[in-house]
């Protein structure tokens, strides 16, 4: 279970610090971590991931490995793997930040008045897709009619319902069956289409030797961003500096990840996802292909993780078509990211 995003250093840490001071002669004591740079003590950090620890979260791995979170003032950093009820976890304070999407966060705000806000995004374009095999290809939304589609509950079902809605397809005309995240449901012939990620399951099935076809949601009426950082209004008000420090470290981490897909994959396979038996060739492909989702004309102009006004509006309009009536102000707060870039203009160099 995720630990508290905000815990103070315990007695053991205090005693250790005193011991270090005692061991040094006057004037030669080593500064505590972060002290030399003037970083505040922000305590421990918990981030709720949207998925298992594969190359999808390479920016977070680099931010830990290269000391960016530590330099920002954070202590222990816990990356809690998904899938999970990210919105509930963040709203309850179990994690300071969660990775999610507008289509997952908006209903929670509308139905529960959760006060969640998106403060930045990793993927400018979502990689959700309906994956099918070439011999029974699903190439257009209309091809979904009469087909059996495997969709995971807990968020993806909401997205699939939105896909049908924006394309004017009656859900009664599609056989929707609940599945897990193993694409063998598709390759074994149990379903005609499988809700997947272009940068994950679609690659896995292709590398297994199957001729695949994709129906990307982003190109068929759902221009949602995803892997977006969601936080609470309360944390924006009361932990603003911590959130800005988090964003700063994330920008540095993702800059490194984009520059080195192979190391991104290695960190996933050998370190953070070592217990998952990940395949290196697939993780390298994922790390390479997700670069186009992260580094775009928008981020080239305004910086990594930023979201253009046009993309915000497109997301709000699509949410409305899908039945979620919410304003940009009720879902987004991009002021922290603006402050980070104002305070650290070198991040744009």
Q: Can you tell me the mean pLDDT for 281-293?
A: 96
List b or e across 199-226, with b for residues whose CB sees 16 or more CB atoms inside 10 angstroms: bbbbbbbeeeebebbbbebbebbbbbbb
Coil/strand/helix, residue 135: helix
Q: What phi and psi, each to the nearest 5 degrees, are found at residue 197?
A: -105, 135
The 10s digit of each residue's pLDDT in 317-326 is 989 988 899 9
Find, among 40, 39, 38, 20, the residue nearest to 30 by Cα. Answer: 20
**Contact yes or no for 291/254 (Cβ under 8 A):** no
Adjacent-strand bridge partners of 212: 133
Look up residue 155 and give its two tokens: 């968020």
Report pLDDT for 23.
33
Coil/strand/helix, residue 104: helix
Find, among 313, 292, 294, 194, the residue nearest to 253 by Cα. Answer: 294
Coil/strand/helix, residue 310: helix
Q: Does pLDDT of 15 surpass 50?
A: no
Q: In 43-166, which ranges are continuous DSSP H helix?
A: 58-65, 68-72, 86-91, 102-112, 156-166
Find, among 237, 247, 245, 238, the residue nearest to 40 by Cα. Answer: 245
Distance CA 69, CA 86 (A): 21
Distance CA 111, CA 324 (A): 10
Distance CA 339, CA 345 (A): 10
| pLDDT range class, residue 39, cuts 50, 70, 90 | confident
Distance CA 224, CA 204 (A): 23
Find, among 118, 342, 132, the residue nearest to 236 by Cα. Answer: 118
The 10s digit of each residue's pLDDT in 218-258 is 999 998 899 999 999 999 999 999 999 999 999 999 999 99
Say if pTM beats, i.e. exceeds, 0.75: yes
Distance CA 307, CA 332 (A): 10
The 10s digit of each residue's pLDDT in 52-102 is 999 999 999 999 999 999 999 999 999 999 999 999 999 999 999 999 999
Q: Does pLDDT of 8 surpass 90?
A: no
Looking up tokens 């508290």 gives 4
Q: Which carries the bigger pLDDT value, residue 291 or residue 5? A: 291
**DSSP-derived pairing of the beta strands 74-80 and 43-48:** parallel
pLDDT, mean over the chain: 89
**Contact yes or no for 247/119 (Cβ under 8 A):** yes
Cα torsion 315, 319, 320, 325: sign: negative
**Contact yes or no for 116/108 (Cβ under 8 A):** yes
């Amino acid at each position: 279970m995720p630990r508290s995003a905000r815990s103070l250093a315990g007695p053991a840490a205090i005693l250790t610090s005193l011991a270090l001071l005692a061991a040094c002669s006057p004037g030669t004591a080593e500064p505590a971590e972060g002290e030399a740079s003037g970083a505040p003590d922000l305590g421990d950090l918990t981030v709720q991931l949207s998925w298992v620890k594969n190359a999808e979260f390479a920016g977070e791995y680099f931010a830990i490995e290269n000391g960016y979170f530590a330099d920002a003032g954070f202590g222990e950093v816990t990356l809690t793997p998904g899938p999970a009820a990210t919105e509930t976890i963040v709203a309850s304070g179990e994690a300071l930040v969660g990775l999610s999407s507008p289509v997952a966060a908006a209903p929670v705000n509308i139905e529960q008045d959760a006060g969640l806000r998106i403060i930045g995004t990793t993927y400018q374009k979502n990689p959700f897709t309906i994956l099918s095999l070439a011999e029974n290809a699903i190439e257009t939304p209309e091809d979904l009619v009469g087909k059996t589609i495997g969709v995971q509950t807990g968020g993806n079902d909401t997205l699939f319902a939105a896909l049908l809605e924006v394309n004017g397809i009656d859900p009664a005309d599609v056989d929707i069956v609940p599945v897990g995240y193993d694409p063998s449901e598709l390759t074994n012939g149990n379903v005609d289409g499988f809700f997947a990620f272009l940068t994950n399951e679609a690659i896995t099935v292709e590398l297994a030797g199957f001729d695949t076809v994709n129906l990307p949601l982003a190109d068929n009426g759902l221009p949602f961003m995803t892997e977006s950082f969601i936080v609470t209004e309360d944390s924006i008000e009361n932990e603003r500096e911590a959130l800005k420090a988090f964003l700063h470290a994330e920008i540095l981490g993702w800059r490194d990840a984009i520059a080195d897909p192979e190391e991104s994959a290695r960190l996933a396979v050998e370190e953070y996802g070592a217990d998952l038996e990940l395949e290196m060739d697939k993780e390298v492909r994922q790390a390479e292909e997700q670069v186009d989702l992260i580094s775009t004309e928008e981020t080239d102009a305004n910086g990594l993780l930023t979201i253009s006004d046009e993309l915000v509006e497109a997301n709000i309009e699509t949410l409305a078509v899908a039945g979620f009536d919410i304003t940009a102000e009720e879902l987004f707060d991009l002021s922290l990211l603006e402050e980070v870039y104002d305070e650290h203009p070198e991040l744009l160099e």
